[in-house]
Structure 1
Amino acid sequence: MHKDSSQGTANVLADLGFDDARELSAKAALAVKVNDLIDKRGLTQMEVATIIGMAQSKVSQIRRYKLQNISLERLMQALVSLGQHVEIVVQPAQRAYEPGITVAV
C-alpha cells in the first residue's frame, strides 16, 4: 500500500500509495462538512445517530475520519439529514479534470 515517492501530487493519499485515494479524499471532504455541522450545532454522537439514522459507532468513525467502512452515498445522506443540499455534477473529463471524484464544499 505504501509507495516511495520523491515528488508529491495534490493528493496526499495517492502519494502514500492508497489504491482508493480519490474515493478516500472525497469521503474526507464530506466527513469534514459533517463534523463541522456537528460541532456548530453542539450535537452529541447519539443525537447525530438519531438524526441521520446511523449507529453511534458509525458516527464515531466519521468523527475520527475512519471512513473505510462508510460509503460516499451514506456520507451524502448524512449531510442531507443534517439539512444540507448535496449536488452531483457529471461532466466529461478534460485536461483540467482527470477522471475521478471531486467534492467541493
Structure 2
Amino acid sequence: MSRKAKNSKGTTNALVDLGFEDAAELSAKAVLAMKLNGLIDQRNLSQTEAAAIIGMSQPKVSQVRRYKLQNISLERLMQALVSLDQHVQIVVQPARRAQAAGITVAA
C-alpha cells in the first residue's frame, strides 16, 4: 500500500484521490470486507465464532472488522464469504470506452 503523487483532479475513488497505487485492490477488498462484516453482524457471531467458521484466526477477523486489509488477500476474503454460504462470482469482460479498464466489485 504505497502512495504516489496526489491527483489534482478528483475521481470517483477516494483511494485514487489520496494517491494509493493499489487503490483498485483496496477498494475491492473494502467491498468484500463490508459484505463479510455484514454477515458476521447479521448472524451475531463473535470474532472467535466467525474465525472458526471462515477458517481465519481471531486476530485476522479483528483486522477485517476494523478494515485493516493490507495483510489479507482478495482470495482469502472471497473464501471467507463462501464459508458463510455466499456465492462469489468473478466476471471478466472487455473494457468499454465509457468504462475504463479496472476492477469493480459489487456485493
TM-score of Structure 1 vs Structure 2, range by shorter chain:
over 0.9
Q: Which residue is equivalent to 1:24?
A: 26
1:86 aligns with 2:88: yes
- From 55, 76, 87, give the equivalent of 1:74: 76
* CA deviation vs aligned residue, 1:55-93 (integer Å, no higher than 9, x gap): 111100000000011000000000000110000101011
**Equivalent-residue separation in structure 1 for 2:102 and 2:6 (angstroms):** 23
Amino acid of the structure 2 residue aligned with 1:90: V
How far did residue 7 of structure 1 move?
2.7
How far did residue 96 of structure 1 move?
2.6
What's the C-alpha RMSD, in Å, of the aligned pairs?
1.1
1:61 aligns with 2:66: no
Whether the 8 Å CA contact 1:3–1:15 is kept in 2: the answer is no
* CA deviation vs aligned residue, 1:13-44 (integer Å, no higher than 9, x gap): 00000010000000000000000001111000
Aligned length: 105
Q: TM-score, normalised by structure 2?
A: 0.93
| Structure 1 stretches of at least 4 aligned residues deviating more than 3 Å after TM superposition | 2-6
**Equivalent-residue separation in structure 2 for 1:28 and 1:95 (angstroms):** 26
Q: TM-score, normalised by structure 1?
A: 0.94
**Equivalent-residue separation in structure 1 for 2:52 and 2:104 (angstroms):** 28
Gaps of 5+ in 1: none
Gaps of 5+ in 2: none
How far did residue 100 of structure 1 move?
1.6
CA, structure 1 residues 84+60, in 2 after alignment: closer, same or farther (shift >3 Å)? same
SS of residue matched to 1:86? coil
Percent identity, aligned pairs only, is 70
Question: Is the deviation greater in 89-98 or in 9-18?
Answer: 89-98
